[in-house]
Amino acid sequence: MELSSQATGTVISVRGAVIDVAFPVDELPKLGDALVVEWDQAETLVLEVQAHLDEATVRGVALQATAGLKRGVIVRATGAPIRVPVGDAVLGRLLDVTGRARDNGPALPDDLARAPIHSPAPPLGERSPATAMFETGIKVIDLLAPLPQGGKAAMFGGAGVGKTVVVMELIHAMVQSYQGISVFAGIGERSREGHELLSEMRRSGVLDRSVLVYGQMNEPPGARWRVGLTALTIAEYFRDQKHQNVLLLMDNVFRFVQAGSEVSGLLGRLPSRVGYQPTLASEVAALHERIASVSGASVTAIEAVYVPADDFTDPAVTAISSHLDSIIVLSRTMAAEGMYPAVDPLNSSSILLDPTVVGDEHYRTAEAVRETIAHYRELQDIISLLGIEELSAQDRQTVARARRLERFLTQPFSVTEAFTGVPGRSVALAETLKGCQAILRGACDRWAESSFYMIGSLDEAEARETRARPAAAAP
C-alpha cells in the first residue's frame, strides 16, 4: 500500500473487524480512504474509513484479521482509497482484496501501476448497448436466455443446484473461442473451490489470460465486501487502458451482500427489511453500474447468486436481478430429476431474446419450446391424479414432445467429466435450433425419451436410437 499522506493516528478501540482511530482534528481522513496499521505482525493490516464519529475520530473496517491488535498502535493515513495493482503483471496470478499475490508465486513489482477500487461508473453517453450475443455452447442458455456481450447475466439458485458448476463450465467453454481477458472474483467462497479453479485454469492453459481475485469465506467481512470492487477495478483497467474485452465472473454475489450486511451491523446501523443493511440497493448499484461497454471494449459479467431458502422474493435477490440483462434460474425440482444443467426454461429470460436481435427463427423456436413445456407443466397435476391416458390425443402428443425437449436441453459438462466419465459437449446454436425444431414438428416422436438425455446435438440421439433398434429386435 503506497503512502501519500503523513497523517497519523492511534487505535482507541478494537471490536472485531471494526476499529476506531483518533487523528488530529485538522487531519481527519476522508470516508473511503485506506489506513495502514503499523503493528508488529508480518501481515499488513489495512482499514477503510466508514464513518466520522466526531471531529477527531474515524471508524474503519479491517480487510484482514485483527487478532493481536491493541489500543495505542500507530495508524497511518494514505490519503487515498485502497489502490490495487493492475496491468499485464497481474495476469496469471491469484490476488487478495488489497492486490497481494496469494498463489505462492513471486511478489508483484513495487512499481506496478495501481488504481483505486472506488471510481465512478462510465457516463451514460459513453456506453455502448449490449446487443451482441455471447454464445456459450450450453444449449438451454443459448436458446432461452442468451448472454449479452458487454452486459450482465446471473445464475440464481439455492444451495446445491449447480451454480458454481455452470460458472466453471462457462469458463471452460469460453476460453476456446474467447480471446479477451478473464477476471474471476471469488466472493465468500470456499478455499477448496479456489484451489480447484486455479488448478483447472493451469491445466487448460488459460491462466496466462486470467486474473483470480479471492476474498474467501474464512476472511473478515470487509475483505468479502470489497473483493468484488478489486476484481472490477482490474477489469476496468484492461477495458479502458488496453481496450480489451473482459469477461468478469463473480461467484457468489449474494456473499457480497451478506458481507455488507455484516459490516453494516458492526458499524451499528439499524437493519432494514429481513435484516439486510439499509444501504443494500445503493451497494448493489455501485457494483453493477460500473459493468459496461465503452469505446468498443466491453466488460461482460456472469454472476452466480445464491438464493437463501429458495426464496426468490428475498430483498438481496430482487436488488441484484433489477440490474441484469439475462436471468438464468436454476430449479431444485429439475436438479432432483437429474436434468442438468437445471435451468428452468420458464423462469429464465434475457433482453436479447427479441426477433430484432436474435432473428425470427431463434425467437419463434424459443417461444415454441417455452409454450410446449409450459403446457406440459399445466397438465402435470392431471397426469399425477388420473394418468396420462385420460388426456386427449393432442395433449398426450404435447407431453411427449415436452419431455423430449426437457431431456434434449440437458448436456454433459467438461468440468464434470472426471466424476461422470462422460465427455463434455459444446453445441453450436444452429445445432440447438435444429434439434428443437425437429422435436417440435414431430420428427422424433417415435424415438425413446432416453435417447435425448445428456447428449450434444440431435445426431447423437439419432445414433443412440439406431443402436437401440437392433438390440430391441434381437430375440
Amino acid identity at 327: I
Which of 252, 370, 249 has its CA nearest to residue 302? 249
Please tell me which residue in 15, 71, 190, 469 is annotated as part of the active site: 190
Is the N-terminal amide bond of 245 cis, ω within 30° of 0? no
What is the tally of helices (H) and strands (E) in the chain? 14, 20
**Is 200 a known active-site residue?**
no
Q: Helix, strand or coil for residue 8?
A: strand
- Mention every residue, 6+ apart, whose C-beta is less than 8 A from residue 383: 391, 399
Residue corresponding to grid cell 505482525: 41
358 vs 145: CA distance, rounded Å = 11
Please tell me which residue in 163, 239, 255, 290 is annotated as part of the active site: 163
199 vs 38: CA distance, rounded Å = 35
Give the burial class of 448: count Cβ atoms within 10 A of its Cβ; 0-12 exposed, 13-18 middle, 19 or more buried.
Answer: middle
**Is 190 a known active-site residue?**
yes
Rounded alpha-carbon distances, angstroms, from residue 20 to 8, 23, 56, 246, 319: 13, 10, 10, 38, 31
Catalytic machinery residues: 163, 189-190
